[in-house]
C-alpha cells in the first residue's frame, strides 16, 4: 500500500522546517505505520487494485463483492459461461444482473475486477484521508514515549484511547470510509 501522506506535508503540519532532518526517519516510520493503521481501521484496501475472486451463486440478481468501491469489472462468469458486459450493471459495492439470477452453486461465480479509492501511480488519496493520516502521525509524534496513555484532557476536551489509539478527530474522518461487513461478528 502507498502511504497516505508525505514527509513534507507532515513536517509542514508540525511546523518543522524542510531543512530540519533530525526527525525524518521517525516521521517516515510513523507515516507508514499510520497509513497501514488507517487501512486496517477502515477494513478495506484503499489503493485501487485488481482482484480475481470466486463466489457462491446466491439465486439473486445482486452479488456483493469483497472489495469496494468497484471501479470496473473486467470479466464475470457464471458456471463457466461468460456474462457479457452489457448484461450486468456495476455499482459501488455490487454487481447486478437485470435479466437473470446468479445461479445457486458453490464457487460457481468468477469475477475479475478493480476496486479502491485512489490510484497511487496517478493521483493522491482523497484530501480528508490525507488530513486524517497527517493528524494521526502528529498525534503519535507528539505523544511518543507515552505508549501507556489511556486518556488526554486539553481545553475542556477529554479523549479516551482504546486499542489502536486513534483520536476522535481522525476516527470521525475515517468513519465514512469504514467498511462494515454484514453478517460478521
**Do residues 162 and 111 both lie within one domain?**
no
Residue 71 and residue 38 share a domain: no
Measured over all CA atoms, what is the biggest interatomic distance in the chain, rounded to whole angstroms?
63
Helices (H) and strands (E) in the chain, counts: 4, 9
163 and 133 in one domain?
A: yes
Separation between Cα atoms, residue 159 and residue 126, nearest integer Å: 26
- Number of folded domains that form the chain: 2
Place 156 in a pLDDT band, splitting at 50, 70 and 90: confident
Evaluate whether 179 touches 42 at the Cβ level (below 8 Å): yes
Question: Rounded to an integer, what distance in angstroms lies between the CA atom of residue 1 and that of residue 58?
Answer: 32
Cβ atoms within 10 Å, residue 149: 11
Q: Do the domain assignments include residue 140?
A: yes
| pLDDT at 5 (0 to 100) | 96
pLDDT tens digits along 53-112: 999 999 999 999 999 999 999 999 999 999 999 999 999 999 999 999 999 999 999 999
pLDDT reported for residue 185: 44
pLDDT value at residue 163:
47
Please state, in angstroms and rounded to a whole number, the distance separating the CA atoms of residues 171 and 140: 14
Model confidence at 147, in pLDDT bands (50, 70, 90)?
low
Q: Is residue 19 located within the same domain as residue 110?
A: no
Query: The domain containing residue 31 runs over which residues?
Result: 7-45+124-175
Q: With respect to residue 1, please indicate whether it lies within any of the assigned structural domains.
A: no
Q: Same domain for 39 and 130?
A: yes
Amino acid at each position: 500500500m502507498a502511504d497516505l501522506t508525505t514527509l513534507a506535508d507532515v513536517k509542514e503540519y508540525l511546523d518543522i522546517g524542510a531543512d530540519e532532518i533530525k526527525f525524518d526517519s521517525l516521521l517516515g516510520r510513523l507515516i507508514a505505520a499510520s497509513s497501514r493503521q488507517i487501512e486496517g481501521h477502515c477494513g478495506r484496501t484503499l489503493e485501487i487494485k485488481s482482484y480475481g475472486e470466486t463466489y457462491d451463486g446466491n439465486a439473486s440478481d445482486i452479488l456483493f463483492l469483497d472489495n469496494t468501491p468497484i471501479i470496473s469489472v473486467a470479466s464475470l462468469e457464471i458456471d463457466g459461461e461468460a456474462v457479457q458486459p452489457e448484461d450486468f450493471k456495476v455499482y459501488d459495492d455490487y454487481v447486478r444482473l437485470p435479466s437473470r439470477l446468479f445461479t445457486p452453486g458453490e464457487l460457481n461465480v468468477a469475477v475479475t475486477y478493480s476496486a479502491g479509492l485512489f490510484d497511487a501511480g496517478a493521483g493522491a488519496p482523497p484530501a480528508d484521508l490525507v488530513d486524517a493520516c497527517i493528524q494521526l502521525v502528529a498525534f503519535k509524534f507528539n505523544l511518543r514515549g507515552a505508549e501507556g496513555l489511556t486518556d488526554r484532557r486539553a481545553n475542556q476536551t477529554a479523549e479516551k484511547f482504546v486499542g489502536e489509539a486513534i483520536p476522535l478527530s481522525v476516527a470521525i474522518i475515517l468513519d465514512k470510509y469504514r467498511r462494515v461487513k454484514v453478517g460478521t461478528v
